[in-house]
Amino acid sequence: MTAQDLVQRHRAAFPRWVGTYYPDPIALRTAEGRHVTDHDGRRYLDFFGGILTTSVGYAIPEIRDAVAAQLATGIVHTSTLYLIEPQIALAERLRAIAGVPDPVAFFVNSGSEANETALLAAACRSGSNHVVALADSYHGRTFATSSVSTLAGWRPSPFGPFRVTVAANGRADGDGPAPSVEECAADLQRRLDADRAPVAALIVEPVQGLAGFHGLPPGLLHAYREVVAARGGVLICDEVQTGWGRTGRDWWGYQAHGVTPDAITFAKGLGNGLAIGGVVGTRELLDSIDGRTISTFGGNPLAATAALATVDYLLDHDLRRCARDRGDQLVEGLRRHGGHPAVGAVRGYGLMVAVDVVNPATGAPDPAGAQRVLTAARDHGLLVGLGGRSGSTLRLAPPMTVTAGEVDTALDCLDSALHAAAPVPAGI
């Protein structure tokens, strides 16, 4: 079976919006540590981890062995009608590190479902379906979560169960200057005053992920929280990308902002690749869900075991420190190489590192150039991701066990890719 055959079967079997990277997509067959091998036996350093999901690395013995031991019991699934010991232990770990008062947890299978759960609780609690979401946000693919996602192109339907007020994220919208925190907060206040309906929730990614790894300006989250709390709304921090030490400072992205959320939602990195997500929030908020609800698969024994082993590994090896140190190394290296005229801004929040690709002649965002660099990086042995308002941002987010030597190798690959994909024009 060649890759070309697979591409044809893929196109025949899936709707057109199931996209893949690269003009000639690859299938990954084996992996170890931070390396993956494709259908042709080519080996790559993986600096995207299946969208920040392989958080610790591939074939990590502690996690693999825990999953294998669970499989060996014969119990993969029981449903939540029965007590699931690893799920209870996982909830206990979460309660200890969430930083939310009187926390309780609930497990689902994805980030979208995690946000659905938090939004549902907020709507039940407030009796309102009015949600404040930030510009350029992404919170999931479901009907409710896509309705609070504002990043261009990621809200397929104009319909949705929520009425959404979009608040500025503190970034400039065009060529003009970025608004100040005071201006952003006053604008939100004005619009909520004009509206008068109670607010169910403010939902926020502490570092906007799909938007191209943009942090929020200091003070913005705090200011918005005050405005929304005065209208009765809770704060939901979507930590689907930023959780588990990824930002290199704390366990959660919200902790950089001096706020205490009412709920944290998470998924991606928790299971190091097995499907698990969830919400940890105040008992008052989550108990607001009035009526019966269940997630058949959520936190099943296999996924919960993987998650527990992953969290233990993250804590035992203090991987947030690694995320900070390796992230700093990556950003410094990129800035050193940053003489390349196709490199615009370089940003880093631990191991969420972004490189904006620009047109060397005009300095404008260059999505086609970013696609070329993405493919050239692969051809030089490095997998990275894309994002940004116009798809012109390279996203680097390796497993948090990445070594200093691997970061150096990735920097060399990216340098070669930039020179191959965006030759420096004469005179620049």
| Closer to ligand PMP by Cβ: residue 134 or 199 | 134
* Least separation in angstroms between CB 133 and ligand PMP: 11
Q: Least CB distance from residue 118 to ligand PMP, whole Å? A: 11
* Pair 338, 345: CB distance under 8 Å: no
Q: Are 131 and 166 in contact (CB under 8 A)?
A: no
Cα→Cα distances 16→2, 20, 148, 384, Å: 21, 10, 23, 23
Smallest separation, CB 389 to ligand PMP (Å): 15
Nearer to ligand PMP, 148 or 418 (CB): 148
Q: Which residue is nearest to ligand PMP (CB)?
A: 111
Q: In this complex, which beta carbon is closest to ligand PMP, that of residue 129 or of residue 241?
A: 241
| φ/ψ of residue 394, rounded to 5 | -85, 135
Q: How far apart are CA 277 and CA 140, in angstroms?
A: 12
Residue 145: CB minimum distance to ligand PMP, A? 7
Give the residue with the Cβ less far from ligand PMP, 95 or 154.
Answer: 154
Helix (H, G, I), strand (E, B) or coil at 232: coil
With 0-12 / 13-18 / 19 or more C-beta atoms within 10 angstroms meaning exposed / middle / buried, residue 325 is middle
> Of the two residues 192 and 203, which places its CB atom closer to ligand PMP in the complex?
203
Query: For residues 118 and 297, is the Cβ–Cβ distance under 8 A?
Result: no
Phi, psi of 102 (to 5 degrees): 40, 60
Nearest-angstrom CA–CA distance, 305 and 302: 5
Min dist CB 386 to ligand PMP, Å, is 12
Q: Which is nearer to ligand PMP, 138 or 224 (CB)?
A: 138
Any alpha helices (H) in 109-232, and if so which ranges? 111-126, 143-147, 181-195, 220-230
Q: Cα dist. 123→131, 199, 322 in Å?
A: 9, 9, 38
Least Cβ distance, residue 8 to ligand PMP (angstroms): 26
- The amino acid at residue 44 is Y
Give whichever of 108 and 376 is closer to ligand PMP, judged by the CB atom. Answer: 108
Distance CA 251, CA 247 (A): 8
CA atoms within 13 A on the CB side of 5: 3
In whole angstroms, give the CA distance from residue 139 to residue 251: 20
By beta-carbon proximity to ligand PMP, the closer residue of 224 and 418 is: 224
Closest CB to ligand PMP among residues 19, 427 = 19
**Distance in angstroms (rounded) separating the CA atoms of residues 60 and 317:** 13
Helix (H) and strand (E) counts in the chain: 13, 17
CB 161 to ligand PMP: min, Å = 17
Q: Which is nearer to ligand PMP, 267 or 418 (CB)?
A: 267
Determine the Cα–Cα distance for residues 97 and 87; give it in Å rounded to an integer.
16
For the bound state, the minimum distance from the C-beta of residue 246 to ligand PMP, rounded and expressed in Å, comes to 11
- Please state the closest distance from residue 407 (CB atom) to ligand PMP, in A: 23
d(CA 8, CA 4): 6
Q: Cα–Cα distance between 102 and 207 in angstroms, integer?
A: 25
Terminal Cα-to-Cα distance of the chain (whole angstroms) = 45
Burial 88-122 (b: 16+ CB within 10 A, else e): ebbbebbeebbebeebbbbbbbbbbbbbbbbbbbb
Q: Specify the residue, 240 or 308, whose C-beta has the smaller distance to ligand PMP.
A: 240
Interface residues toward ligand PMP, by CB under 6 A:
51, 110-112, 115, 138-141, 205, 209-210, 238, 240-241, 267
Q: Which two tokens stand for residue 291?
A: 């009526």
Minimum gap (Å) between residue 109 Cβ and ligand PMP: 8
Q: Please, what is the minimum distance in Å from the beta carbon of residue 65 to ligand PMP?
A: 26
